[in-house]
Amino acid sequence: MKTFMIERYGDKTGVRAGEMPAPQMGADDVLVRIQAASVNPLDVKIRDGEFKAFLPYRLPLVLGNDLAGVVVRVGAAVTRFTMGDEVYARPDKDRIGTFAELIAVHQDDVALKPATLTMAEAASLPLVALASWQALVERARVQPGQKVLIHAGAGGLGSIAVQLAKQLGAHVAATASTDKVDVVKELGADVVIDYKTQDFETVLDGYDVVLDSLGGETLQKSLRVLKPGGQAIGLAGPPDAAFARELGANAILRLVMTALSFKTRRRAKRHGVTYSFLFMRASGDQLRELTTLVDAGKIRPVVDRVFPFDQTREAMEYVEEGRAKAGKVVVAMTWGAALPRTAGGDP
């Protein structure tokens, strides 16, 4: 099958088109013919080897972390889906590879595609929508009337997180560049901080939750806008011991992650707040919750640009260079070939 893959870490020119065997299926898997996949900063980080210490992928590796497509085969134990179903998913972290013609995904990680969305729109959602849900609903347990700050409010993650936080009844502030302020306001943010002309730390105070996808100095400042007992949830790191335990990491790696986040956690404690790292996980159940919101018009995807599949490397560079005006970048596949006979597993 056709794919975009890497054969070594750390070289953006190493992303190339290539042929790979069709995926083998387990009894609980669905085989999906991918029609669209979105590009995430995570794909760039994986390409560069930033996560190889705790995500030891075998090379060559097909990139891509979320998808929309059509089920073309189901495993013997699959009960939730049938052939022809239109679905979307973020595969488990150990089974990525959506820049491809086909992918086998565990049925628990898949949901029916929102009926109101195109394939490209649906493909833009899984990773960022799940990250937003797991941060705001599952971890922070945001309640009506609470104050939530979301950094990079016009980005792929931020554009969904702003909308979800509003649906949870929160007062939402977001940061954005000058040319994206109006976009973030349209998404529902109550306060938009133009980071080019304003310092959010001097404007905001008393927040319950900060969702930070930028890290570094932005994260350190975010600790100071939280009220006592507030939570900073970071998606750009540093990783912490709780994340290491989730991974089942060995003792040495747990110590390393504890050390990496030590200064941040110490600063948070001084301010009477907490910091935790979030690496989102696959969940078909949570996607179904989100589908309800999407089909009700409560959350809408924001798609900046759609690239053809043969320009996947260019799409990744577009994301890496920060050229998207708002929302997600999507790669669209137009597959005409018949389903390979080599696709593994029993029907």
Q: Could you tell me which residue, 136 or 250, shows the higher pLDDT?
A: 136
Domains, the chain, ordered by start: 2-125+301-332 (3.90.180.10), 127-277 (3.40.50.720)
**Range name among 64-78, 139-153, 241-255 with the lowest pLDDT average:** 241-255
> What are the start-end ranges of the H helices in the chain?
41-47, 119-123, 126-133, 156-167, 181-186, 200-203, 216-225, 241-247, 251-260, 262-270, 284-295, 312-320
pLDDT value at 340 more than 70: no
Residue 346, pLDDT score? 35
3-state secondary structure of 29: strand
- How far is the C-alpha of 274 from the C-alpha of 267, rounded, in Å? 9
Question: For residue 232, what are the CA distances in angstroms to 32, 181, 223, 317?
Answer: 36, 23, 7, 29
Mean pLDDT of 163-167: 98
**Each residue of 252-266: pLDDT tens digit?**
877 888 888 899 999
Residue 261, pLDDT score? 87
Residue 13, pLDDT score? 85
- How far is the C-alpha of 197 from the C-alpha of 1, rounded, in Å? 49
Mean pLDDT of 289-318: 96
Its pTM surpasses 0.85: yes
Mean pLDDT of 136-143: 98
User: Residues, the chain, total?
Assistant: 347
> What are the start-end ranges of the H helices in 168-275?
181-186, 200-203, 216-225, 241-247, 251-260, 262-270
Q: Are the C-beta atoms of residues 109 and 90 closer than 8 Å to each other? A: yes
Average pLDDT, the chain: 92
pLDDT value at 335 more than 70: no
Residue 257, pLDDT score? 81
Residue 51, pLDDT score? 84
- How far is the C-alpha of 59 from the C-alpha of 279, rounded, in Å? 22
Q: How far apart are the first and last CA of the chain?
A: 19
